[in-house]
Amino acid sequence: MARALVCVCALICAAAAASVPPIGTQPEQVHISYPGVKNSMVVTWSTSNRTESVVEYSLWGDALFRKKAKGNYTVFTDGGTEKRTSYIHRVTLTDLRHGSAYVYHCGSDDGWSDVFYLTSLNESLSFGPRFALYGDMGNENPQSLSRLQKETQIGMYDAVLHIGDFAYDMHEDNGRIGDEFMKQIESIAAYVPYMTCPGNHESAYNFSQYRYRFSMPGHTENLWYSWNIGPAHIISFSTEVYFYLEYGLDLLFRQYEWLKKDLEEANRPEQRAERPWIITMAHRPMYCSDDDRDDCTRFQSYVRRGRNDTTPIAPGLEDLFYKYGVDLELWAHEHTYERLWPVYDYKVYNGSFEEPYVNPKAPVHIITGSAGCREKHDAFIPKPRSWSAFRSTDYGYTRMHLINSTHLYLEQVSDDQYGKVIDDIMLVKETHGPDAWL
């Protein structure tokens, strides 16, 4: 009898324990980003209940948590049926000693995160940052994740650029898929700035999951912005404004005007001398040789050539980027890797036949959307156009090293081949800007 009672109790208690909700004041989904202001870093995280927003930190090796910074939260209500709310906390660390390692945790007296470390950006113009680049990484089948986690944690990267399409999809299951994704990348994004742009998988509820969860520079809710690192000016923007017109055609024009202004400013002679590399990142490519009939498979790609079925007509971006001498354009969306010869308006402009990437006469495009997601790979058409230089359907990601003002190194890692480098180029430019095309 007594024994039976114990059994019943054990069953009931186990059931009760399984349904205890997580502590709502506990910080989760910690990630950092560079706000585009020198010697600063933003820490962002989430709680399901209202708490203060505090980061405690200290220089690596100092007594822990000697410094404290306070910030703020925004209440994010998902667009799904449950209208789930969460508190997105943002704290900006300012006055960091540049290029220095810090230890931090975040949260409040109602709950603290694990301890993480970050390195503030080296603000020197001769700093040679290293990046991991990829797009299209989801919760299911994120094949490159573990390699990226480890390589980030051992210090191989100064920043990560995630070129759109997260989680698949963040809004699903009333935003729980987004929560899971942000937890999944914490092991990367809590250590190095995780810089983003939106993709088509973020389109639900007017990109609200994307707009609320990240903390990119500028004041456009992460949709378009630019920032500087070492010898580079990096521009992130939304190709989705060309496709989701229901959210406002004005966004397309506002972005275009901003891009033009930003490129003009980045091309002021003193500016371009300091940051000679102009690199763009956005989700849907202008060119690709996949067989999925996407925008980039069409000669008149919206991103490349604009749209003429809008009033007014929407300008495309290839001419703009060419005019302002953009050096390198990073894309994703196709679940493959493709490198292009220098190309403008469907024509190849090699530096020379022997050394196509030494003083190329047009921008270089890289498409890197094969990190891994539930949609698996895309396939290529059998006979690519003459601008296609190298293609791979292996899962993987790209490494970029901005060596100095003249040399930029890119290599493609295959996760299918256990981390083997399957492609690499050295892009060399003695002249930057539109004069480089002459």
Query: Checking phi first, is residue 253 left (phi over 0); if not, alpha (psi -120 to 50) or beta?
Result: alpha
- In the 8-state DSSP scheme, what is residue 305? H
> How far is it between the farthest Cα atoms of the chain?
93
- The site map against ligand NAG for 366-405 (x = CB under 6 A) is -------------------------------------xxx
Residue 126 within binding range of ligand NAG, rule CB under 6 A: yes
Residue 280 within binding range of ligand NAG, rule CB under 6 A: no
Interaction partner, residue 350 (Fe ion, ligand NAG, none; CB < 5-8 Å by kind): ligand NAG
In the complex, what is the shortest distance from the CB of residue 282 to ligand NAG, in angstroms, rounded to a whole number? 16
Q: Which is nearer to ligand NAG, 353 or 418 (CB)?
A: 353
Beta bridge partners of 337: 368, 392
Q: Which is nearer to ligand NAG, 104 or 395 (CB)?
A: 104
In the complex, what is the shortest distance from the CB of residue 132 to Fe ion, in angstroms, rounded to a whole number? 18
Choose, by CB under 6 A, the member of 141, 407, 422, 425 that binds ligand NAG. 407
Residue 353 within binding range of ligand NAG, rule CB under 6 A: yes
> Phi and psi for 371 in degrees, rounded to 5?
-60, -35
Choose, by CB under 6 A, the member of 155, 248, 419, 434 that binds ligand NAG. 248
E-state strands within 211-335: 225-229, 232-236, 277-281, 306-307, 314-315, 328-331
Choose, by CB under 6 A, the member of 21, 61, 312, 382 that binds ligand NAG. 21
In the complex, what is the shortest distance from the CB of residue 347 to ligand NAG, in angstroms, rounded to a whole number? 8
Q: Which of 47, 330, 340 is nearest to 196 (CA)?
A: 330
| Residues whose CB falls within 8 Å of the CB of residue 248, separated by 6 or more in sequence, listed in order | none
Q: Which of 255, 269, 262, 193 is nearest to 233 (CA)?
A: 262
Residues shown for the chain: 438
Q: Which of 55, 56, 54, 47 is nearest to 23 (CA)?
A: 47
In the complex, what is the shortest distance from the CB of residue 305 to ligand NAG, in angstroms, rounded to a whole number? 7
Residue 417 within binding range of ligand NAG, rule CB under 6 A: no
| Cβ neighbour number for residue 265 with a 10 Å cutoff | 12
Q: Which of 364, 369, 374, 365 is nearest to 134 (CA)?
A: 369
In the complex, what is the shortest distance from the CB of residue 199 to Fe ion, in angstroms, rounded to a whole number? 4
Residue 72 within binding range of ligand NAG, rule CB under 6 A: yes
- Could you say which residues in the range 180-199 bind Fe ion, by CB under 5 A? 199
- Could you say which residues in the range 150-169 bind Fe ion, by CB under 5 A? 165
243/349 Cα distance (integer angstroms): 29
Interaction partner, residue 437 (Fe ion, ligand NAG, none; CB < 5-8 Å by kind): none
Residue 128 within binding range of Fe ion, rule CB under 5 A: no
Residue 333 within binding range of Fe ion, rule CB under 5 A: yes
249/205 Cα distance (integer angstroms): 16
Site residues (vs ligand NAG, CB under 6 A): 21-22, 24, 48-49, 70-72, 98-99, 122, 124, 126-128, 206, 221, 247-248, 251, 300, 308, 341, 348, 350, 353, 356, 403-407
Site residues (vs Fe ion, CB under 5 A): 165, 199-200, 333
